[in-house]
Structure 1
Amino acid sequence: MALKCAVELRIPDIIHSHGCPMTLTQIANEIGPTSPSLDINCLARDAEQSLAPLVFMRNNPLIMSPFQCLSQCVKEGGSAFQKAHGRELFELASVNAEFNRLFNQAMACTARITTKALISEYEEGFRCIGSLVDVGGGTGAAVAEIVKAHPHIKGTNFDLQHVVKTAPVYNGVTHVGGDMFKAIPHADGILMKSIMHNWADENCIKILKNCRKAISKKPGKVIIVEVVLQPGGGDPFDNIGLMFDLVMLTHFPGGKERTEVEWKKILEEGGFPRYKIIKIPALQSIIEAYPE
């Protein structure tokens, strides 16, 4: 909440534009008496990879209130988000335009950071595919960056209809609305970034089976970008991964972060017996999976 306050007051922008350290009095004078705009989209105005939208989303009352229902979930089961709001997160986003905007902006800002690491570390992986579907791609920022770096790829951004209808136009990217539990557009490669941790194992297996139907046999593959928890610890991102595990537990029915053993199980049951894990400089890793 303190970080949200600082962003709302534009303190990072004030210090950044000043160009050197400032006293509290100088900062206070720059804030001024007027109310700050909540539309600020950066921690520092010129930050290329800002996380301000994530700060606003995580501190929104709609996101915070499910944590009050954790003990109720332990006793009764079910989703904390549903107990707090009477519907699941994606259902709420479909009927609440402001929450939908807030959520999509937060996902887009985190996607920019992960996508930058993905493009830099997975260059060879993208060269061998001609078409790519980003399943649950939000408003399309990630696949747009991939297509920009690899213009030979025909990109498709696939998400729920209420999400893609707000998506901007990107060169080389087609927006398609639909339900990943029913069918996924055909492509050489399918990208799923921070999608499967929202769902229980049985739902992940359904998604993977639809991916199996959608990809071409050669050189078809699924590119999963997710946290891979390390039971023994030692990874600098371990604590963040555990924190995300709590967020998944609270906000999604059956959502959780997974160890490699847990990933292997759902990949095999979903029709992808071969896989390899590629570490990238991000919280997530790449899980490259093949149908044969």
Structure 2
Amino acid sequence: MYDTFSTDRLIDQWLMEDIGGCDLTVQTMIGKDERGAFVMNAREPMIVAGIDVAAQVFRRYDPTLEVKVAVSDGERVASGAILARVSGSARSLLTAERTALNIMQRLCGIANETARYVDAIAGTRARLIDSRKTTPGLRMLEKHAVSCGGGLNHRLGLDSGVMIKDNHIAVCGSISAAVERARKVLPVLTKLEVECDRLDQVSEALEAGVDVIMLDNMSVPDMKKAVEMVNGRTKIEASGGIRLETIRPIAETGVDYISTSKITQAAVAVDIGLDEA
């Protein structure tokens, strides 16, 4: 989920960063009338994310370039799969190549990592969600990549919902006081979530009538107790230190959501190449 107008602004910045004054290599050795034809291909199995953004990088730099996309975001492809074909001015293709590959390698890496976590909790009621721990400037695209991998998006930004955390509670004095302050001015369709790291806080948040309770860095036994306490009266999110090797037992406690920053912060870029057609 991203807006093409906003994405174009990002692409302009990426290209300016990489090119600088000019692509000195192509300007000195590639003739302005020379043509090229290349294929973007997967060099390992992957989940596609950002193919249209990568294609737009080429078009943004040179609208005369012809880009034919061969796959769709969210699609699983094998090693060797052709993702797109690009042709036109050789100078333009070679200048925009790295920027297009960089963003797609990053986004596909996030989609791949997300899918690993989603697969790890398959068969439970829990759904995987992301966090705001994203690369500055790339949040919308990275969250789009999460959705391509089968995850759900948490807040897109600070204006997407109210999240009452430990420091908010410290300023307000208690969970009840913090919720009361927020409810007075909260838009009626906006969700309110409270972070709890103890079971007594879960009780207080439940009594305050919050929409979501986040269990922050709780042990699996305490998570099970919290799920029993809530008994379906509100949604429960587990968060804090979630790793691939620990996520399954957490999902089996009965929580509704599990959030982790690992799917964005620890994702490894995939290998994508641009080779002569």
TM-score of the superposed pair, with normalisation by structure 1: 0.27
Q: Please identify the structure whose Cα radius of gyration is greater.
A: 2
TM-score of the superposed pair, with normalisation by structure 2: 0.28
**Larger relative contact order, structure 1 or 2 (CA cutoff 8 Å, min sep 6):** 2
